[in-house]
Chain A
Amino acid sequence: MRLRNLRLTTRYQDDLVLFRTRLAMAGMAALLLAAVTAPLVLGDFWVTVLIYAGIAAVGAIGLNILTGFTGQISLGHAFFLGVGAYAAAVLAGRWGLPFPLWLIGAAAMGGIIGGLVGPFALRLRGHYLAIVSLGLLFLGSHVFEHWTAVTGGLTGRAISTPIAIGPVNLDNLAAVGIPLNRNQGFFYFTWLVVGVLALAAKNLLRTRPGRALQAVRDRDQAAEVIGVSLVHWKVGAFVVSSGYAACAGAMYAAFARYVSPLDWSLFLSIQYVAMIVVGGIGSVAGAILGALFLTLLPRLVEAGSGRLPFLADAGSGGGITVFALNQMLFGLLIIGFLLWEPMGLIELWRRLKRYFASWPFSY
């Protein structure tokens, strides 16, 4: 099959393809190659940072499905991450379920609880829904702090969720002759999951369900008039989004091997909102970009702090600290993107592509 240049489409089916041009395929191939080689050339520090970025990408994709594509605002995303983490701890640690059953079970648990929250979206919208989701977060925080049998209370709990299929165990790859340490193995696992879930989200969104979700977002009453069930799709969006978040929480627990109720805070929910705003609301790739950007930014600022003359040395106690600069950048980025590029980082990329698509005749 020849891959035609599909930038100018003539058929409905062409509008649904993942890669419109050979260049896009080559770009994806280059990204894959970079992902494969990254843990082999980067040190454990950057590999760890990228693992956290990948875990955040899973959660951000889920939030984008809910907020970006369905228009439902949620500040309770951190709660579902916590549900996933503790569900994984129980399924793997206490019930002894093997991988991938505990991961699927944790995602399912998040989805079920999301399905219970979804009906609130039928009666509420906008700020009111945001407040209800905030209430869910605080309720969840209370449960996490006091359900000590499952969560360990404020002291937290150690998590044992081995990622092993047969003799291949991420905690000891060398035992089967794979020359990778735990961080490297977890990097591949994390970004494989990101790829699979991103593809699943993309498929969801470029087909009939995705059109229904966007119809709910754009004109919910008109959508219902033409037969798009608000109950079905709004609750469904919560289920899918919560499932993604719970999956991210389970992966976080598997990597960190310790979680505490303090991990699932309001600030985490706000960070996820920032990821999809900065990355691009309504775009799967944007969610991944936003997660990468906001996870890497503080570490990059620290790494480059020696070259920023206005930054105080760590420990000096004077001037602008790295922590303060990161906080300022976080706020400025959200404000800046909302004002000047509300479609986020992905739109910057799209503008670049459009410019060079017709270069040198672009205007």
Chain B
Amino acid sequence: MSPSRLVSLITLGALAAVACGGGAAGTAATPGVSGDTITVGVLTPLSDPVAVIGRPLLRSMQVYFARVNAAGGIGGRYQVRVQEEDITYANPSTSVQKYQKIKDQVALLGMVVGTDHINGLLPLLREDGMVATPGTLDAEWVRTPNLLSVWVPYQLQIINGVGYFLGQPGNAGKTICSMVLATGYGEAAEEGLMSAAASEGFTPGPRVRFRQDDQDFVAPITQLRNGNCDAVILASLPAVTGKVLGAAAQLGWSPRWIMTSPSWHGALAQSSLADYLTRTAWIVSEGPVWGDTTDAGMREMLAAVAQYAPDQQPDLYFTAGWSVAQTVGALLEQAVRSGDLTRTGILTALEAMEPFSPAGWGEYRYGPIGTREPPRANTIFRVNPAAPIGLEVEARNVSVPAAQSYQFTAGR
């Protein structure tokens, strides 16, 4: 057979294959809903260094829905199955790939960890009409379609933390600096600082960025120290926080560290930095403290942990994930009440969702995209190595005027 004839045959075969086969991958009318089972997807790091956040977030969702299923399920009928996929935090394309893997098997994404991952998924979420819950707290998510945002945004965390610091006796006029991860998350924290500066009328000191895989922090710490920083906003991740603060401790420098919630992990309070952290660190977060049985939501969570995950150690991210699971459950309840568990139905349910407070957490006002409002008050924690997650409350319901007046703009 001559080469030209062979090429012609292949071309014809190709055209025939394309014309006959393929099309979109088969999708059911209600993807992720099969009989009386709703599948909720979770894209979170489970094996890389950020797994210290991802694993407890996943576990809390599994425990929450195990409890819900035992009580009869969503709407007294639907059992919820959690389908997790491991992503690599430093490589946003992994979430795109894993999304393609599970998109036809899940009704919604109950958790996606990573600002860049959410950004990478947004075009796909819009195309497929899927709802996702970002496990990150950029203010931009509040008014972004297709996102079921939760918690107080990073920008407000920083504004509240800075406002609380400046409101302490003798702190007026002190220099506030920042040291943030060179990611969208770090940039959100910087935005918070600049917003606080504009509102409170001060000029921030040096602002430093670092990378997740940096090893030496002497230079940036020295830069901050030379800038006479009295307080430093720290937007980091647990695997890096120890190195950053260790460098500061070694240099004998003790500013007030005002940390965003993802910067913390309980193991830090049991490390050699415990004393340094006790003196210098505040963590701006929200929600009840692990083990605080005066809080009804915490009692409920602890009971579920005892029944379904008795080996679960106290963990800030488990508590956070529990609140997310409650919110996802509330959305599914709304969709079941309206009788529509299609993607469109879940989106519509999100727009019709009443203001919701996960037990022990602030109220998030959902509904039409242009009117959504997150909670605006944080809890400031200080380090106490003897406490369950190394944290005890410094101040509750901190919501400075700048946080209350912060304007959320239309999202991506």
Judged by a CB distance under 8 angstroms, whether B186 is at the interface is yes
Contacting residues, chain A, for B115 (C-beta < 8 A)? 155
Is B187 in contact with A153, judged by CB distance below 8 angstroms?
yes
In the A-B complex, the 4 residue pairs with the closest CB atoms? A321-B47, A45-B101, A323-B47, A314-B46
Is A155 in contact with B101, judged by CB distance below 8 angstroms?
no
Give chain B's interface residues, CB within 8 Å of chain A: 2-3, 6-7, 10, 13-14, 17-19, 21-25, 46-48, 51, 54-55, 58-59, 84, 86, 88, 90, 92-93, 96-98, 100-101, 103-104, 115-116, 119-120, 122-123, 127, 140, 182-184, 186-188, 209, 412
Interface pairs (6), CB distance under 8 Å:
A44-B101, A45-B100, A256-B120, A258-B119, A262-B116, A321-B46
Question: CA–CA, A3 to B3, complex, Å?
Answer: 8
Q: Find the B residue at minimum CB distance from A180.
A: B22
Question: CA–CA, A153 to B13, complex, Å?
Answer: 47
Contacting residues, chain B, for A1 (C-beta < 8 A)? 2-3
Q: Find the B residue at minimum CB distance from A19.
A: B3
Is A155 in contact with B184, judged by CB distance below 8 angstroms?
yes
Q: Decide if the interface of chain A is mainly helix, strand, loop or mixed.
A: helix
Question: CA–CA, A33 to B12, complex, Å?
Answer: 11
The verdict on A258 contacting B46 (CB below 8 Å), with A36-B18, A183-B100, A323-B88 known, is no
Contacting residues, chain B, for A260 (C-beta < 8 A)? 92, 116, 119, 183-184
Question: CA–CA, A37 to B86, complex, Å?
Answer: 29
Question: CA–CA, A312 to B115, complex, Å?
Answer: 27
Contacting residues, chain A, for B92 (C-beta < 8 A)? 258, 260, 262-263
Judged by a CB distance under 8 angstroms, whether A145 is at the interface is yes
Is A180 in contact with B119, judged by CB distance below 8 angstroms?
no
Question: CA–CA, A184 to B93, complex, Å?
Answer: 17
Smallest distance from the beta carbon of B174 to chain A beta carbons, Å? 27
Q: Beyond A40-B18, A44-B103, A323-B88: 7 further Cβ-contacts under 8 Å?
A: A40-B22, A44-B100, A158-B119, A179-B21, A180-B18, A315-B55, A317-B55
Which residues, 1 to 58 on A, are CB-close (under 8 Å) to B?
1, 3, 19, 25-26, 29, 32-33, 36-37, 39-41, 43-45, 47-49, 52
Contacting residues, chain B, for A221 (C-beta < 8 A)? none
Contacting residues, chain B, for A180 (C-beta < 8 A)? 18, 22-23
Smallest distance from the beta carbon of B347 to chain A beta carbons, Å? 20
Judged by a CB distance under 8 angstroms, whether A156 is at the interface is yes
Judged by a CB distance under 8 angstroms, whether A217 is at the interface is no
Is A156 in contact with B123, judged by CB distance below 8 angstroms?
no
Is A154 in contact with B182, judged by CB distance below 8 angstroms?
yes
Question: CA–CA, A263 to B187, complex, Å?
Answer: 16
Judged by a CB distance under 8 angstroms, whether A211 is at the interface is no
Question: CA–CA, A155 to B180, complex, Å?
Answer: 13
Proximity bits, A287-309, B CB within 8 Å = 1, else 0: 00000000000010010000000
Is B25 in contact with A43, judged by CB distance below 8 angstroms?
yes
Is B21 in contact with A156, judged by CB distance below 8 angstroms?
no
Is A317 in contact with B119, judged by CB distance below 8 angstroms?
no
Judged by a CB distance under 8 angstroms, whether A257 is at the interface is yes
Smallest distance from the beta carbon of B91 to chain A beta carbons, Å? 9
Contacting residues, chain A, for B100 (C-beta < 8 A)? 43-45, 47-48, 183
Smallest distance from the beta carbon of A178 to chain B beta carbons, Å? 7
The verdict on A302 contacting B25 (CB below 8 Å), with A155-B184, A322-B47 known, is no
Judged by a CB distance under 8 angstroms, whether A324 is at the interface is yes
Question: CA–CA, A25 to B209, complex, Å?
Answer: 54
Could you say which of B51, B127, B186 contacts A154, with CB atoms under 8 Å apart?
Answer: B186
Question: CA–CA, A277 to B255, complex, Å?
Answer: 48
Could you say which of B2, B55, B90 contacts A262, with CB atoms under 8 Å apart?
Answer: B90
Is A37 in contact with B93, judged by CB distance below 8 angstroms?
no
Could you say which of A43, A158, A182 contacts B412, with CB atoms under 8 Å apart?
Answer: A158
Smallest distance from the beta carbon of A196 to chain B beta carbons, Å? 15
Is A258 in contact with B120, judged by CB distance below 8 angstroms?
yes
Contacting residues, chain B, for A48 (C-beta < 8 A)? 96-97, 100
Question: CA–CA, A19 to B2, complex, Å?
Answer: 13
Contacting residues, chain B, for A33 (C-beta < 8 A)? 10, 13-14
Q: Find the B residue at minimum CB distance from A257.
A: B123
Is A314 in contact with B84, judged by CB distance below 8 angstroms?
yes
Smallest distance from the beta carbon of B239 to chain A beta carbons, Å? 13
Smallest distance from the beta carbon of A207 to chain B beta carbons, Å? 21
- The interface centre, meaning the residue of A52, A156, A312 with most chain B CB atoms within 10 A of its CB, is A156
The verdict on A256 contacting B13 (CB below 8 Å), with A153-B187, A324-B47 known, is no
Contacting residues, chain B, for A52 (C-beta < 8 A)? 93, 97
Question: CA–CA, A32 to B15, complex, Å?
Answer: 12
Question: CA–CA, A156 to B120, complex, Å?
Answer: 10
Could you say which of B3, B7, B10, B25 contacts A44, with CB atoms under 8 Å apart?
Answer: B25
Could you say which of A49, A182, A262, A314 contacts B97, with CB atoms under 8 Å apart?
Answer: A49
Contacting residues, chain B, for A183 (C-beta < 8 A)? 100
Is B47 in contact with A156, judged by CB distance below 8 angstroms?
no
Q: Find the A residue at minimum CB distance from B50.
A: A323
Smallest distance from the beta carbon of A29 to chain B beta carbons, Å? 6
Is B23 in contact with A181, judged by CB distance below 8 angstroms?
yes
The verdict on A181 contacting B24 (CB below 8 Å), with A48-B97, A256-B120, A315-B55 known, is yes
Q: Find the B residue at minimum CB distance from A184.
A: B22
Is B21 in contact with A40, judged by CB distance below 8 angstroms?
yes
Proximity bits, A177-198, B CB within 8 Å = 1, else 0: 0111111100000000000000
Question: CA–CA, A297 to B51, complex, Å?
Answer: 21
Question: CA–CA, A47 to B22, complex, Å?
Answer: 12
Smallest distance from the beta carbon of B79 to chain A beta carbons, Å? 20
Question: CA–CA, A48 to B6, complex, Å?
Answer: 30
Is B22 in contact with A39, judged by CB distance below 8 angstroms?
yes
Question: CA–CA, A265 to B19, complex, Å?
Answer: 41
Q: Find the A residue at minimum CB distance from B182.
A: A154
Contacting residues, chain A, for B25 (C-beta < 8 A)? 43-44, 181
Which residues, 239 to 277 on A, are CB-close (under 8 Å) to B?
256-258, 260-263, 265, 267
Contacting residues, chain A, for B86 (C-beta < 8 A)? 302, 314, 322-323
Smallest distance from the beta carbon of A354 to chain B beta carbons, Å? 24
Smallest distance from the beta carbon of A2 to chain B beta carbons, Å? 8
Question: CA–CA, A315 to B312, complex, Å?
Answer: 12
Q: Find the B residue at minimum CB distance from A145.
A: B182
Is A262 in contact with B183, judged by CB distance below 8 angstroms?
yes
Contacting residues, chain A, for B88 (C-beta < 8 A)? 323
Question: CA–CA, A120 to B372, complex, Å?
Answer: 54
Q: Find the B residue at minimum CB distance from A36.
A: B14
Q: Find the B residue at minimum CB distance from A37.
A: B17
Contacting residues, chain B, for A19 (C-beta < 8 A)? 3
Is A315 in contact with B97, judged by CB distance below 8 angstroms?
no
